[in-house]
Homo-oligomer: A and B are copies of this chain.
Amino acid sequence: MPSTIGDRLKVTVFGQSHSEAIGCVVEGLPAGIVVDRRSMAALMARRAPGQGPWATQRREVDEVRIVSGLDHEGATCGAPLAMLIENTNTRSQDYADIARMPRPGHADWVARLRWDGFHDVAGGGHFSGRLTAPLCAAGAVCEQMLASRGVRVGAHLCEVAGIADERFFALGDPDEEREGLMAQLDALADGRAFPVIDEAAGRRMQDAIEEARRDQDSVGGIVECVVAGLPAGIGSPMFDGIENLVARACFGIPAVKGIEFGRGFEAARMRGSAHNDPYDVRDGSVCVTKNDAGGILGGITDGAPLLFRLAVKPTSSIAMPQRSVDLEAMEPATLKVRGRHDPCIAPRAVPVAEAVAAIAALDAWLSFPPRYVADGALD
């Protein structure tokens, strides 16, 4: 199971749900930047379980120990940054049945095939959503490096169970809407527990999640993410464009089943005259005057906010009985999944989407830098 993403900036994730620890190694970070542990802890906390009735009750502090990659002043030094999170709260007995009776919607059965039964079953092993914790740690560092260059990353729950939040102000006139987008990002960063812009919609979403939980069921959702402030000219055509890199990274978030950039699937129903983003000259620079492309042309940033949405499927682990098979008897069987699970995983996927977007965006910047920004600036 290779678990590495990135080109100039590489993130390797290790750990299983119930291993001693989980963590990651980040290679290729620019040197000389003091890691802000407070903002890392804040991102980690937003992902952590146990924050509300919609989330699993497994509680873990997820304290990040940086064991290498910093100098004695806490600044990055060019060497690989290794981060460790101890696993403190593991209840392996909950998973005793899984080896025998695979959970629908999970990788239990296919992992058993692939590794001939030698994979780690407990808690989903390396397939566990718990591995998004080190992703968030890596993403927090990348987000900080982007922030120091004027780039802001944000995400919200765009939709849950069919209930919609406001969309990001990122598809219209850049000048007019930039202010609106910043206000939205400020609102999301104000410490609210449930990551929506429109809090009334958020309450309805929470009701729907609670209803699913009472039904021993789960619901899905859509996460919208924006990276604002990237200079135009980052990326490459063919297979190393921004969309390629972001998409490959985002499908590393468990439960993601779709991704779209800018108008995305809606673009399929538009005409070119409406979808094309016209150019204009403002303050002596070229810019696009709207952003249906999601900030990307031919795989390369165009200066407008990078915008994408992720489809998150309903949590696979549900409490109600499900049809499975008994792999020893090789006959149909009814499974009741035990353990602690989120009735909707989408809220906790929001900070993960931010983290992954930050990783992919910083990697793209370092790997395929815009010519008119001195390449060395970030290196």
Contact = CB atoms under 8 A, between A and B. Distances in A.
A65 B276 contact: no
8 contacts: A5-B239, A15-B68, A32-B116, A79-B126, A159-B269, A247-B251, A275-B314, A275-B316
B268 A221 contact: yes
Contacts of A251: 239, 241, 243-244, 247, 299
Interface in A279-329: 279-281, 284, 286, 288-289, 293-294, 297-302, 311-318, 320, 322-325, 327
A42 interface: no
A161 to B, nearest CB: 7
A370 interface: yes
Contact of A122 (B68, B72, B332): B72
A117 B31 CA distance: 9
Contacts of A217: 271-273
Given A260-B257, A314-B267, A77 B297 contact: no
A297 to B, nearest CB: 5
A369 B263 CA distance: 36
Contacts of A237: 1, 3, 107, 111, 126-127
Given A114-B371, A222-B265, 19 more contacts: A1-B79, A14-B25, A14-B82, A19-B79, A23-B68, A77-B118, A79-B125, A107-B300, A110-B233, A126-B237, A243-B257, A244-B252, A257-B262, A257-B263, A267-B311, A272-B315, A280-B325, A284-B330, A375-B379
A286 to B, nearest CB: 5
A53 interface: no
